[in-house]
Amino acid sequence: MASLGKVYLERVSQLKQLLETNPAEKIPELQFLTDRDWLWLAGRKMPNTEDGYRRFLSMTRLMAEQNRSSSTLTTTTDGSPGRVR
């Protein structure tokens, strides 16, 4: 079981490195990805092709944007949208 965890952590490292080597693909919302999100992304089967990398980067940005939306917006007591502070 420990070796499986190591494989996932290595994959997370590879994925983050892919983003570092493609700075145009980085968006500020990436800060909203949790460790759990990165592990989920690491578990996705993506071909080691240009298309596979593009799909991974697209999925990563989408997840980050969704996390940002869900972490910054909330409903206030009167039912209107509000910001978490």
Cα distance between residue 18 and residue 15, in whole Å: 5
This prediction's pTM: 0.72
Q: What is the pLDDT of residue 37?
A: 94
The answer, yes or no, to whether residue 81 has pLDDT greater than 70, is: no
Gyration radius of the chain's alpha carbons: 16
Q: What is the pLDDT of residue 28?
A: 93
- Delimit the domains of the chain by residue range: 2-71
Residue count of the chain: 85
Q: Mind listing the pLDDT tens digit for each residue in 37-77?
A: 999 999 988 888 999 889 999 999 999 999 888 766 554 45
Residue with the bigger pLDDT between 49 and 81: it is 49
- Both tokens assigned to 32: 């909203």
Neighbouring-strand partners of residue 71: none
Contacts of 26 (CB under 8 A, 6+ apart): 19, 20
Q: What is the pLDDT of residue 80?
A: 55
Cα distance between residue 60 and residue 74, in whole Å: 23
- Both tokens assigned to 43: 């578990």
